[in-house]
Amino acid sequence: MATSGQSTDSAWAPFRIAPWFSERVWGYRDLHPWYDRVAEGEPIGEAWLTGDQCIVASGAQSGQRLDALYAKDPEALLGPAAPQSDGSPLLIKVLFVREKLSVQVHPDDAMAQKYGDLRGKTECWYVLDAEAEAEVACGLKPGVTMNEVKTGIETDTLEGCLNMLQVVNGDVIFVDAGTVHAIWPGTILLETQQNCDQTYRMYDYGRGRELHIKKSLEAAKLETRAGKVAPKLLDDRTILMDGEYFLVERIALSGSRTSASLRGDGPAGLQYFFAAAGAAKITGSGFEPVEFSKGGIVAVPAASPEFAVEDLGGLELIRVTPRWPAGSQ
């Protein structure tokens, strides 16, 4: 995995990350069978898998926060192609949606930087589980004007402006920055996004949370690239989302795969492996095996030693790889 000049000792071997759970009014109280977690206070809506506050749960870096690890040696984690001093580029979450989320919009890079943030928030959703007739709101209906959006906010009729998509297990939805969107009840989603937690709420069903109407209208775009993404089937993997900021793939695994067989065409970089089902084990010379199961995630640094991924039974393996937009160096 490592390129010339990078350390390849076991300090940068693959490591498991412990999830950090975020309370949300629209979430669930019991996250079984995904996680051994029951809410003690407010419902839990999100399991953050790669947040700055997440803790390394195995290996030589065990016990460290992810943000501290990125500060320690960003090149060993991200590879030489990554922009300097950029921290963690991606935030990966599992969303547990029991009630409607707010109707919201995220800023693009330019708007985020205008207000002092490092980056905007483009994201995609992989549907892990969906009840019958589950839906998401993804963009505005064709022909809707910004004045109609403003009127919808003021008169509690904004839902009528939204483009609704029915979703089933395995669907992928791209939500680029500027897309007005929401998630309806009955879905569990794997969300991959730029590492930015900036959300502007347009409408929240009277739940008393802060709204950000002025900024949401500034961020919103009448037309975006958002929508369902058709998977691209290859011999050894399925490309779920090939975007400007991230690549999301479902990896075919019959028994085991070596790191050499998983390499892309570019320089070595960070990879995240997520178990959407079943269980897996990552092994290699010089480091202890790393096991993870449904809902678990493992980071494979750019400077990782060679490794193999083994299917321990029923594995559905998702790989997420950061991408660097042109001119970000």
165 DSSP β-pair partners? 136
User: Residue 27 in 3-state DSSP?
Assistant: strand
Which helix H or strand E contains 319, and what residues bound it? strand 308-322
Starting at the edge strand found earlier in the chain, the sheet holding 187-194 runs: 20-28, 44-48, 90-97, 187-194, 123-130, 172-175, 227-228
Structure tokens at 284: 């290699």
Q: If you search the block for the tokens 């009729």, which residue do you land on?
A: 157
Active-site residue set: 201
Cβ neighbours of residue 215 closer than 8 Å, sequence gap 6 or more: 107, 115, 200
Handedness of CA 10, 11, 14, 20 (dihedral sign): positive
User: Residue 65 in 3-state DSSP?
Assistant: strand
CA angle 227, 232, 238 (to 5 degrees): 110
